[in-house]
Structure 1
Amino acid sequence: MCAEAALPPCFDRQRHLEPLALITVHGWDHPRLQAELARAVRMARPWFAAGLPPPASACWEDLQLPIDKVAQIPASRIQRAPISAEIAARIGQADRPEVTAAVRVLALRLRIGQAVPGDLLALHAALLPDAPAGLRRGSIALRRADDSIDFQAPSADFLDEGLAFILAEANRAVAGGDLATLAGCYAAINFLHPFADGNGRTSRRLLLAGMGACLDTDLSPLPIDLVVWCNRTYHDYRLRQITQANHWGAWIAFVAQMLCHAVSRLPAPAIPVPLAQGSA
């Protein structure tokens, strides 16, 4: 934890990593939400299998998840500022082929229980080919608009151990069909912040790879960056609640609901229906 009382909580292994191994033990697996997400993915399999382009970025408002009333979040805390057309168009584009290939390799490695940090490094390199290769070497802090520290990531000395732990938990989660722990791994990558840039993009694709492996569906075509940006304030609020109050259960529920909401709104592919024999 931080030595300075004025700073918010910094990276804490006990809070940000170790709960991954205890999520299902504590009953945070949300069976109903997991079942709803699995059903939505099954219904959308024709869209994924057809290789269709992502939905038009102009439809980003359809991807906004309604605020969960049970969460009792003050409406003023969740600002629904519109995404500019330029940002929506950029983040709504399909991934480059090399990125899609890296996501699929990671999904395959997770399916056989052999995903390692090198697979995530390869995905990051495909996402940001011009960025410095490998894990960050220096310290990194997330700052607020007034330049005060919002979150301090762990030192670079911890990154190898931390990534190995997260990938081991992701392997275990896929083997057990545990979507809740995969949502936890997504958050844990954000807390670990192993890269100088691209941590969010990389962690989101780890989530897609793991959930796709669990649900036997290639989820790589889903415009996950657009989905998260459409819910960015709600998303970041839930991440902050882990740091401030250890609310892993609320985070997992949010991720399951966000993905289910987005997948259920994918357009159905237009599949020609063959004429009956003898029809004119």
Structure 2
Amino acid sequence: MSNDARPDDLDVGPGRPGRTLSLAISPCPNDTFAFHALVHGLVAGAPAVAVAFADIDVLNGRAAEQRDDLVKVSYAALPWLLADYQLLTSGGALGRGCGPLVLTAGRSDLRGARVAIPGTRTTAYLLFRLWAAGVDLAAIDVLPFEQIMPAVRDGRYDAGLVIHESRFTYPSYGLTALADLGDWWEGQTSLPIPLGAILARRELDGPALSAAVRDSVAQAFADPSASQDYVLAHAQEMEPDVVEAHIKLYVNEFSLDLGDEGFAAVQALLARAAEADLVPPLTHPLR
């Protein structure tokens, strides 16, 4: 069966209720760590899942096309997706000290700059637009996130907006951080930064799927070694210490449950963005 297929009624084995669900996540360590137990059938009573991997810009596009039953997306994309998907309360990425960075090879401002970004509907770009309001840029181009730092280092772009493990590796490219958008957001709101969300089709049992994902995350915390081989196999040649730091930063108590603070952070981000005419107002409740 292709990873791009949306399976219907399949034999999911004893103890695995319902049809196999399609799951699309990133190959980044936070996702493979959090979803290892679910993907490998280790969550009691959870449906079987067939997983596909893609970077966040592609995942946002897959969700817009309604290709998957469960999908990781940027919180910034929610206004376009909540008619067809519901937000799960577990499995996402929120936190403090984990925001996107604006990197340069030494520039001190962005006037007239060409900027590489990881996607137009990413939370990183939404934060960038809020932070850089009024700055006259020369160009904005979308690149796969792993290509952004080399492009800035090599002078093809004046600045790059980076996410994920780039927080730990950018000095090795000779780059400096012009801004930490997570620090900026926390200073503005005192709230954690909402980065990536897990969505499920509206016709599915959202509370049951949230519980299954929460169980998967809890198992990952309880026995980190169980997912190690799976995580490293998809970690795109990351050094083990970078993988460990990545997981510690992006998988936390909000991955177990958004809670009131997590929902408040998402609401604040999307409300500010709607007020600035950067996203449509929400027409469906977050919960």
Identify the structure with the greater helix proportion. 1
Identify the structure with the greater strand proportion. 2
TM normalised by structure 1 equals 0.22
- If asked which structure has higher relative contact order (CA below 8 Å, sep 6+), I would say 1
